[in-house]
Amino acid sequence: MKAEKIHFKDNLPLKIEVHSISRFPIHWHEDITEIILPIKGSVDIKANFEEIHLNEGDFFFINNKTIHYIKSQEESIVLLFYVDLDYFEEQFPYIKYMFFRNSIYEDLLDKSEVDLETKEKFKVHFRNLLISIFAETINPSVSSHMYDKLIHKLVYQMIYEFNWLQLLKKDGDFISSVHLDRYHRIVKYIQENYDKKINLDDIVSREFITKTYFSHFWKNLSTYSFSERINYERVLKSEFLLLKNMTITEISDKCGFSDTKYYYRNFKKWYKCMPLEHKEKCYSYMSQGYKYKELEPSDVKQIFKDYMKRFFKLEDSLNQEGDFSSIINKYLYLKYYHTIHEKTLATDKYLIMDPFKYSTITDEGEINFNWTIMDLLINLVIDFKFILQIKLNTDNLEKDVNKYIDIFLENSINRYGIDVMRNCHFLIDYKDSLIFDNTEPIEKLLSHKLKDINISYYIEP
């Protein structure tokens, strides 16, 4: 069992390998996220304590420093995408501590309130990106600049759609980037200090928050308690030591457990067996030998072509009115621009949000806002102190303007907080006859909900 070194070429943060796999060695990667995509046949993956059966059309994330192996009853053809986390660390300081996943754990599925239909669309879109990138590897048809953009888009989708916290959140929930950074900062601290005693005082003093605030914060984001998370990290670290010439007592002590009985208890909770049993399973797998072969991309052209015909979906957009990936790219550009270049402009910075542009009205007259896009924009406002201008353009509404504006305001206040919304500058389109006829009621509605606010009227030729 060893760390597998991946060598990235041409200053690209992605490497793709093609393998025919029956039994792949037990290994892990340092500062790399691996994405497994079988294009012919199915595979079984063991990643830490979890066993996953992966069919054609599915993909799976192997997270940073995750011990894993891949096997198959048939010599399955698998694409392995390796993402260089070091490359993206400047943009995303905590990317090495993010946990990427594209499905809910079975024991949490019944408790989850996530919109599984939307998550499935995310998966289709992401698979399309994987297919597009490998297609370019076989038959380059775009510039190196465009290929690089595809890779960046892949990573952005990982972060904003498959980060475990984003995956778990309900459709109506908003997680600010401030909270995400705090959570990952805490995870980083645990991973760097798992061998020592960690208590709540250490965390709240580092984060300059109270214990009460931390309790609410952690409960809102995590499915496990703080102590469970610490012991989870310790158990994962212990797996690296099990195949070394160390006793259970030594491993337990090295991983920060105060007593071996706590190590046994926590190991069994996650791995469903005792440490020595898991060790024997690893030795048993390794003793059977390995059978795999690395192939050239050109060797699987026809196989990949057949796969692409079955699984590349043209109708993958999350919203017919707008390109969600384009929104993410613009968001990341602004975030990168203001973070890396440390631009502190003397002039005011405005961000214009049009909530009705991407909204849809159901046959029953209900309105669906694209909160995913608006969450990104609000995070920019919070992170970089933009002045948010909310454009009330209701061209796509035929009636009930006041009703839908009221719904938007009520949901936004609950989602982002009253202070964020009170600092907004509302723009009302004067050419819009529906709004023009309802100017006074709309002003009263805005003032009633938000008190002293800025309202301007504009004409857009």
Bigger pLDDT: 86 vs 245: 86
Which of 321, 388, 404 has the alpha carbon at shortest distance from 357? 321
On whether the pTM is more than 0.75, the answer is yes
And the tokens for 323?
Answer: 């390109």
Q: pLDDT value at position 361? A: 80
pLDDT in tens, 281-300: 999 999 999 999 999 999 99
- Contact call for residues 160 and 376 (beta carbons, < 8 A): yes
The pLDDT-based confidence of 111 (bands split at 50, 70, 90) is: very low
pLDDT at 273 over 90: yes
N residues, the chain: 461
Which of 162, 222, 233 has the alpha carbon at shortest distance from 196? 233
Q: Which residues pair with 387 in a beta bridge?
A: 350
The predicted model gives 239-259 an average pLDDT of 95
As a whole number of angstroms, the distance between CA 404 and CA 427 comes to: 16
Q: pLDDT value at position 12? A: 92
pLDDT in tens, 52-107: 999 999 999 999 999 999 999 989 999 999 999 999 999 899 999 999 998 866 55
- Contact call for residues 404 and 397 (beta carbons, < 8 A): yes
Query: Residue 365: left (phi > 0), alpha (psi -120 to 50), or beta?
Result: left
Q: pLDDT value at position 429? A: 74
And the tokens for 436?
Answer: 């023009």
User: How far is Cα of residue 129 from the mean position of the Cα atoms in its chain?
Assistant: 15
Contacts of 449 (CB under 8 A, 6+ apart): 406, 409, 410, 413, 421
Contacts of 258 (CB under 8 A, 6+ apart): 197
Q: pLDDT value at position 171? A: 54
pLDDT in tens, 3-37: 899 999 888 999 999 999 999 999 999 999 999 99
Q: pLDDT value at position 290? A: 95
H/E element, 390? strand 387-392
And the tokens for 102?
Answer: 């594209």
pLDDT at 324 over 80: no
Of 106-120, 196-210, 447-461, least confident by mean pLDDT is 106-120
Which of 225, 58, 187, 222 has the alpha carbon at shortest distance from 127? 58
Of 13-27, 121-135, 155-169, 218-232, least confident by mean pLDDT is 155-169
- Contact call for residues 38 and 78 (beta carbons, < 8 A): yes
Contacts of 230 (CB under 8 A, 6+ apart): 190, 194, 198, 256
pLDDT at 136 over 60: yes
Contacts of 255 (CB under 8 A, 6+ apart): 194, 195, 234, 235, 237, 238, 241, 263
Of 133-142, 288-297, 341-350, least confident by mean pLDDT is 341-350
User: How far is Cα of residue 149 from the mean position of the Cα atoms in its chain?
Assistant: 18
pLDDT at 318 over 50: no
Q: pLDDT value at position 183? A: 96
Q: pLDDT value at position 329? A: 57
Which of 292, 293, 14, 53 has the alpha carbon at shortest distance from 132? 14
271: Cα within 13 Å, side-chain hemisphere: 28
Placement of tokens 């019944």 in the chain: 110
The pLDDT-based confidence of 337 (bands split at 50, 70, 90) is: low
As a whole number of angstroms, the distance between CA 304 and CA 459 comes to: 52
And the tokens for 173?
Answer: 């929930």
- Contact call for residues 373 and 358 (beta carbons, < 8 A): yes
Q: pLDDT value at position 145? A: 75
The predicted model gives 164-189 an average pLDDT of 83
The pLDDT-based confidence of 42 (bands split at 50, 70, 90) is: very high
Which of 91, 93, 95 has the alpha carbon at shortest distance from 83? 95
Between strands 14-23 and 68-84, the pairing is antiparallel
pLDDT at 189 over 60: yes
The predicted model gives 162-168 an average pLDDT of 82
pLDDT at 461 over 70: no
As a whole number of angstroms, the distance between CA 461 and CA 231 comes to: 61
- Decide: residue 70, CB within 10 A, 0-12 exposed, 13-18 middle, 19+ buried: buried
CA distances 345 to 281, 352, 381, 384, 420, Å, are 59, 18, 15, 11, 21
The predicted model gives 393-409 an average pLDDT of 79
Bigger pLDDT: 399 vs 112: 399
Buried b (16+ CB within 10 A) or exposed e, 194-209: beeebeeeebbeeeee
The pLDDT-based confidence of 112 (bands split at 50, 70, 90) is: very low
* Amino acid type, 31: D
Which of 37, 22, 112, 32 has the alpha carbon at shortest distance from 71? 22
Q: pLDDT value at position 116? A: 61
